[in-house]
């Protein structure tokens, strides 16, 4: 078998597989013939490595023709299709290939050049006999399946499942190989991690992708960190300010497998590398700059500098790990190797290290590309690769593409980003377009209309920049060397991205021209609909789907035969524009019940019409196809909440948080569903969730699904906890509050649930205090004292004052206690109690270290050493810092404050709060802090209101009697020497304003009069 693409594809084994040597009385279908011959030929184990090489050759020839260039030097049709099939017509054969590559109702891009090469690679590398024989075959299947996914216009759930399953097996194999130090183990492991990170980024698993990249960098001993350095970004800055920069340095030398790569080809790790790798003597152990690289356009801005001018190589403190993933020491200090680098003159990186930086940037911007802060934090990754120089043509091209994507959202860099993207599109088009040549064959080459989707012809494509000469370009080997780790976009993907960029810039006419040339009619229709041309969009889609003869307004027409490519997607777009659900149903039928988007669209339609049962049914069907669609699980959970299907809602939202544990809304809704579940009954198993994932509430869906973190210490059954669901809901709300610290609704629910657990079931008082503090912080500006939940505050006050005795001044001195105003100084640093198994792992909610064990009884507990434990200190901090400043006109609030002051041995303050509470009842419309001085009559108030005034006045008189004679705190002397006079005055003030109640002989009036006589009697007895 030869070494070049053409030699391998024309080898006798390849020709035998493709049927060039087959003799049949009647020709059999091409696809079934190749499949059956491959199954037969793979029975010979000695030929499996050869077929692996053929599969890689076909795949990399396809990638060269569609991603990297230069154009192939052979006619793929003549190499792949025997003459007997070419004579029968290639158009029908191509349609059969497209149909064979369709997955889950989605077909490859219809103008894909040289699709026959990819089909051959797919048939060979995805064969179970070859793919499951070992590491090399499984990795080949993972690669070809991911490129198959990239050919499709929408995500395929079945391909995703296969890719992720193969990746898990490969990780296990490579981890074992790395542990034993096999030949090329590190190279293969790092390459696999980067490839899996790219795959996970494509599917939206950005956090997992960054974890893979961090592991790859650690394995390679590649150090990089995002930090700050003083410098100037604009031309008019007169002083240096901190600028973001990525400090990165490759290791000094690559080990032998990276340099010689002997292991990969001998073991068949990349069978086609015999054709694409440089010669042995060209391999280097240190990074070297290449002589050629794509041109990087200048910014040419009147304000921004071309490059940041850094003042000093000494960086500032690094960015927090909570904001950005980086590989650094655990204490976030910059390693010495990086601290010594000059930010403006950093060394060249190895290509694989540059790829790690680019993949990190892509994984961060994948979720929120239009977020300004995210762009500022990710642009330095691409800048570091570009400023360091080019060590590989394709890596440098990818860096330019990443930078252009980031710059497209900022006004001062949008022009350069657009022009750079245009230059890259031109580069790919020119370098993947074959030169027009006259063929001696009489058979028409079908690729003349499909190999150039970027323009009307393949002759002399115009470019934004001058076309590079062969000496200024890179070889095939250099372009394909890291194609699986880079995963560059296909040529039509890149052009579609350019059209989308023009749409964002307002160039809809240019975008429409590009989409029309690419025959991306779905995007054309969306562009027309976005410009208020819905009628044209509907007409276009109906013409494509149904034909001109059936262009009526009815929706029960027959589709074209054969239907156009990507028919289900076109039908769904037509349904979106016309708001007719029949198109969604037709899309579901056409796709043989495999196109999940059709059911999702039906679900949204029925939800809008408030037909919740049918909407839930539609989402359920969609999730049977796409089990990992978090948005569908969330929508289904909301529908189940509307229908009061609480257990089903718990399962749906549990799926959501398993797929994305940073979705605060899912955690909050999960708590709502858990709260509605029936209490656990006797006889059920009650065990706690895993310690390291206490917020994963899968335990609540079924007792059998719960797995304890320590099986050896947990008995098979325990006494049923009737508040188990309540605790699970609390854990879910705790996680939600951690993720959305500024959402007052979540914190309010958190407070309510925490306070709902009775003391007999170990109420999490610390969390009650923290939640109340956060609710007050978030709502105080808008609602004032109304943001305080007085019922919960009253329960909390009862617990604290009934459990602990406040230390006296002597006890404080004996125990070196602090002043009671300062005893809560550490409250801000310890805002959460260690209650209910809280491990403190949730970010933003630190765990305190209680000084004593919290008791749930109501017996008085003496303080230790004159200092209160954590719970009462946190409670007092809440009262002093949050509650007291808000008190204005609420009588119950003043009453609670009075109780707290009395418990704190502050009778003077307690009496003041009591007076304000009493005034608030007498004058409910004015502030209780200052009396209005105007006496309003009680003659015409309702009986309930009059009874409330009497009760509060009697209570106030009792407070005068109780607190007046006590010694005043700090200054000494009685709290109120004239307490009897004030008590009599309070009674007379009310009685004098209620003459009508006296005339009626009211019992409450008589009761207040009797209380006044008792005070007079006490005064007379005291005088005697």
Return the CATH number at 589.
1.25.40
Mean pLDDT of 609-626: 96
Mean pLDDT of 177-203: 91
pLDDT of res. 472 = 65
Instruction: Specify whether 26 is located in the same domain as 171.
Output: yes
Mean pLDDT of 466-482: 81
Whether the per-residue pLDDT at 835 is higher than 60: the answer is: no
Structure tokens at 768: 């009650």
* Confidence band for 446, pLDDT divided at 50, 70 and 90: very low
In a domain, 194, yes or no: no
* Confidence band for 133, pLDDT divided at 50, 70 and 90: confident
Lowest-confidence range among 151-155, 252-256, 925-929, 1000-1004?
925-929
Q: Which candidate, 788, 754, 781, 784, places its Cα nearest to that of 897? A: 788
In a domain, 982, yes or no: yes
Containing 479, the helix (H) or strand (E) segment is: helix 476-480
Instruction: Specify whether 619 is located in the same domain as 656.
Output: no
pLDDT of res. 264 = 34
Tally Cβ neighbours within 10 Å of residue 558: 10
* pLDDT, greater one: 819 or 925: 925
Distances (CA, A) of 758 to 734, 746, 796: 18, 21, 11
DSSP letters of 547-597?
-GGG-SS-S-PPPPSSPPTTHHHHHHHHHHHHT-HHHHHHHHHHTTS--HH
Instruction: Specify whether 578 is located in the same domain as 658.
Output: no
Q: Which candidate, 422, 439, 187, places its Cα nearest to that of 295? A: 422
In a domain, 429, yes or no: no
* pLDDT, greater one: 86 or 461: 86
Q: Which candidate, 608, 640, 646, places its Cα nearest to that of 623? A: 640
* pLDDT, greater one: 473 or 688: 473
Positive or negative torsion for Cα 754, 759, 761, 767:
positive
Return the top range by mean pLDDT from 359-368, 641-650, 1007-1016.
641-650
In a domain, 346, yes or no: no
Structure tokens at 195: 């490839």
pLDDT of res. 831 = 38
* pLDDT, greater one: 474 or 202: 202
Give residue for tokens 């009069």: 1009
Lowest-confidence range among 16-20, 268-272, 341-345, 460-464?
268-272
Percentage of the chain beyond pLDDT 90 is 56
pLDDT of res. 42 = 93
What's the CA gap between 613 and 339, in Å, rounded?
A: 61
Q: Distance between terminal CA atoms of the chain?
A: 126
pLDDT of res. 865 = 54
Whether the per-residue pLDDT at 514 is higher than 60: the answer is: yes
What's the CA gap between 803 and 143, in Å, rounded?
A: 65
Give residue for tokens 């100084």: 825
- As a whole number, the mean pLDDT across the chain is 81
pLDDT digits (tens, 9 = 90+) for 857-866: 444 455 555 6
Whether the per-residue pLDDT at 847 is higher than 60: the answer is: no
Instruction: Specify whether 20 is located in the same domain as 116.
Output: yes
pLDDT of res. 685 = 43
Instruction: Specify whether 586 is located in the same domain as 638.
Output: no
Cα within 13 Å of Cα(329), Cβ side:
9
Instruction: Specify whether 905 is located in the same domain as 983.
Output: yes
Cα radius of gyration (the chain):
38
Whether the per-residue pLDDT at 318 is higher than 60: the answer is: no
pLDDT digits (tens, 9 = 90+) for 480-489: 999 999 999 9
Whether the per-residue pLDDT at 629 is higher than 80: the answer is: yes
Structure tokens at 711: 């099986």
In a domain, 943, yes or no: yes
In a domain, 581, yes or no: yes
In a domain, 957, yes or no: yes
Instruction: Specify whether 169 is located in the same domain as 41.
Output: yes
DSSP summary character for residue 64: I
Instruction: Specify whether 798 is located in the same domain as 732.
Output: no
Lowest-confidence range among 226-235, 299-308, 370-379, 662-671?
370-379
Mean pLDDT of 416-420: 92
In a domain, 1014, yes or no: yes
Q: Which of 867, 886, 905 is the last residue of a domain?
A: 886
Is there a contact between 96 and 31 (Cβ–Cβ < 8 Å)?
yes
Containing 244, the helix (H) or strand (E) segment is: strand 241-249
Whether the per-residue pLDDT at 291 is higher than 80: the answer is: no
Return the top range by mean pLDDT from 303-312, 809-818, 822-831.
303-312
Instruction: Specify whether 823 is located in the same domain as 953.
Output: no
Lowest-confidence range among 95-109, 237-251, 818-832, 987-1001?
818-832
What's the CA gap between 550 and 558, in Å, rounded?
A: 8
pTM of the model: 0.79
Mean pLDDT of 518-523: 92
The whole domain housing 877 covers 757-886
Lowest-confidence range among 272-281, 465-474, 773-782?
272-281
Instruction: Specify whether 142 is located in the same domain as 26.
Output: yes
What's the CA gap between 482 and 274, in Å, rounded?
A: 14
Instruction: Specify whether 684 is located in the same domain as 590.
Output: no
Q: Which of 590, 625, 660 is the last residue of a domain?
A: 625
Q: Which of 146, 181, 216 is the last residue of a domain?
A: 181
What's the CA gap between 692 and 661, in Å, rounded?
A: 13
Whether the per-residue pLDDT at 56 is higher than 70: the answer is: yes
Helices 508-518 & 521-530 angle (0-180, nearest 10): 160
Mean pLDDT of 1012-1019: 82
What domain count does the chain have? 5
In angstroms, how far is CA 130 from the centroid of its own chain? 37
Instruction: Specify whether 584 is located in the same domain as 681.
Output: no
Is there a contact between 436 and 423 (Cβ–Cβ < 8 Å)?
no
């Amino acid at each position: 078998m030869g070494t070049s693409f053409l030699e391998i594809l024309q080898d006798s084994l390849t020709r035998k597989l493709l049927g060039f040597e087959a003799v049949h009385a009647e020709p059999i279908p091409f696809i079934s013939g190749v499949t059956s011959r491959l199954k037969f030929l793979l029975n010979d184990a000695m030929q499996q490595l050869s077929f692996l090489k053929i599969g890689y050759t076909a795949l990399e020839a396809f990638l060269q023709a569609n991603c990297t260039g230069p154009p192939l030097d052979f006619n793929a049709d003549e190499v792949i299709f025997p003459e007997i099939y070419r004579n029968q017509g290639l158009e029908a054969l191509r349609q059969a290939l497209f149909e064979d590559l369709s997955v889950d109702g989605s077909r490859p891009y219809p103008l894909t050049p040289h699709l026959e090469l990819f089909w051959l690679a797919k048939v060979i590398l995805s064969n179970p006999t070859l793919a499951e024989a070992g590491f090399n075959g499984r990795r080949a299947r993972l690669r070809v399946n991911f490129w198959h996914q990239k050919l499709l216009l929408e995500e395929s759930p079945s391909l995703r499942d296969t890719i992720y399953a193969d990746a898990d097996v490969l990780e296990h194999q490579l981890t074992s190989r790395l542990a034993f130090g096999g030949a090329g183990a590190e190279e293969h492991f790092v390459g696999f991690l980067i490839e899996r990170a790219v795959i996970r980024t494509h599917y939206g698993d950005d956090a997992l992708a960054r974890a893979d990249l961090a592991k790859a960098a650690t394995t390679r001993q590649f150090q990089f960190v995002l930090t700050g350095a003083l410098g100037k970004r604009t031309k008019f800055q007169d002083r240096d300010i901190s600028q973001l920069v990525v400090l990165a340095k490759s290791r000094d030398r690559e080990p032998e497998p990276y340099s010689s790569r002997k292991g990969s080809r001998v073991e068949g790790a990349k069978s086609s590398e015999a054709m694409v790798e440089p010669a042995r003597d060209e391999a280097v152990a240190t990074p070297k700059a290449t002589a050629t690289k794509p041109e990087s356009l200048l910014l040419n801005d009147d304000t921004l500098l071309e490059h940041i001018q850094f003042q000093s190589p000494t960086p500032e403190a690094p960015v927090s790990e909570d904001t950005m993933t980086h590989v650094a020491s655990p204490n976030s200090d910059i390693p010495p190797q990086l601290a010594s680098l000059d930010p403006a003159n950093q060394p060249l990186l190895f290509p694989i290290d540059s790829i790690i930086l680019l993949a990190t940037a892509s994984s961060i911007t994948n979720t929120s590309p239009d977020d300004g802060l995210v762009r500022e934090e990710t642009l330095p990754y691409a800048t570091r690769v570009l400023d360091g120089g080019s060590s590989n043509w394709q890596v440098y091209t990818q860096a330019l593409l990443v930078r252009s994507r980031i710059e497209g959202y900022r006004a001062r860099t949008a022009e350069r980003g657009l022009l750079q993207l245009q230059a890259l599109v031109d580069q790919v088009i020119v370098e993947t377009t074959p030169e027009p040549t006259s063929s001696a064959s009489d058979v028409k080459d079908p690729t003349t209309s499909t190999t150039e989707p970027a323009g009307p012809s393949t002759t002399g494509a115009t470019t934004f920049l001058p076309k590079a000469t062969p000496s200024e370009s890179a070889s095939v080997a250099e372009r394909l060397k890291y194609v699986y780790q880079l995963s560059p976009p296909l040529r039509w993907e890149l052009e579609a991205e350019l059209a989308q960029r023009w749409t964002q810039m307002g160039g809809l006419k240019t975008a429409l021209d590009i989409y029309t040339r690419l025959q991306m009619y779905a995007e054309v229709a969306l562009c027309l609909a976005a410009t208020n041309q819905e009628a044209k969009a509907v007409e276009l889609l109906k013409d494509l789907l149904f034909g001109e003869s059936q262009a009526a307004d009815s929706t029960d027409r027959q589709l074209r035969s054969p239907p156009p490519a990507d028919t289900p997607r076109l039908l769904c777009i037509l349904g979106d524009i016309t708001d007719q659900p029949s198109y969604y149903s037709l899309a579901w039928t056409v796709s043989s019940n495999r196109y999940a988007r059709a059911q999702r669209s039906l679900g949204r339609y029925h939800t809008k019409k408030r037909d919740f049962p049918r909407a839930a049914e539609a989402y359920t069907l969609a999730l049977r196809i796409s089990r990992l669609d978090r948005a569908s699980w969330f929508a289904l959970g909301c529908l189940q909440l509307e229908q009061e299907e609480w257990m089903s809602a718990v399962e749906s939202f549990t799926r959501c948080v398993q797929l994305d544990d940073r979705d605060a809304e899912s955690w909050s809704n999960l708590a709502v569903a858990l709260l509605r579940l029936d209490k656990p009954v006797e006889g059920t198993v009650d065990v706690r969730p895993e310690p390291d994932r206490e917020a994963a509430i899968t335990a609540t869906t079924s007792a059998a699904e719960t797995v304890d973190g320590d099986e050896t210490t947990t008995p098979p059954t325990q006494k049923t906890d009737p508040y188990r669901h309540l605790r699970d809901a609390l854990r879910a709300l705790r996680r939600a509050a951690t993720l959305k610290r500024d959402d007052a609704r979540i914190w309010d629910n958190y407070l309510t649930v925490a306070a709902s657990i009775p003391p007999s079931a170990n109420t999490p008082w610390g969390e009650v205090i923290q939640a109340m503090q956060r609710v007050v912080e978030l709502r105080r500006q808008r609602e004032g004292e109304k943001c305080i939940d007085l019922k919960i505050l009253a329960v909390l006050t009862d617990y604290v004052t009934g459990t602990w005795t406040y230390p006296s001044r002597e006890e404080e001195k004996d125990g070196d206690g602090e002043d009671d105003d300062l005893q809560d100084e550490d409250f801000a640093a310890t805002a959460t109690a260690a209650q209910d198994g809280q491990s403190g792992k949730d970010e933003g909610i630190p765990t305190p270290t209680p000084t004593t064990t919290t008791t749930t009884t109501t017996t008085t507990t003496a303080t230790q050493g004159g200092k209160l434990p954590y719970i009462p200190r946190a409670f007092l901090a809440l009262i002093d810092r949050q509650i007291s400043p808000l008190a204005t006109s609420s009588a119950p609030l003043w009453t609670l404050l009075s109780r707290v002051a009395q418990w704190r041995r502050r009778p003077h303050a307690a009496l003041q709060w009591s007076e304000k509470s009493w005034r608030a009842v007498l004058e409910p419309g004015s502030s209780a802090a200052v009396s209005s001085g105007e006496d309003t009559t009680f003659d015409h108030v309702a009986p309930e209101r009059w009874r409330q005034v009497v009760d509060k006045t009697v209570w106030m008189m009792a407070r005068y009697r109780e607190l007046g004679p006590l010694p005043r705190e700090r200054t000494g002397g009685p709290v109120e020497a004239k307490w009897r006079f004030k008590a009599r005055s309070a009674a007379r003030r009310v009685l004098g304003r209620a003459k009508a109640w006296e005339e009626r002989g009211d019992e409450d009036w008589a009761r207040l009069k009797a209380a006044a006589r008792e005070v007079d009697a006490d005064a007379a007895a005291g005088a005697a």
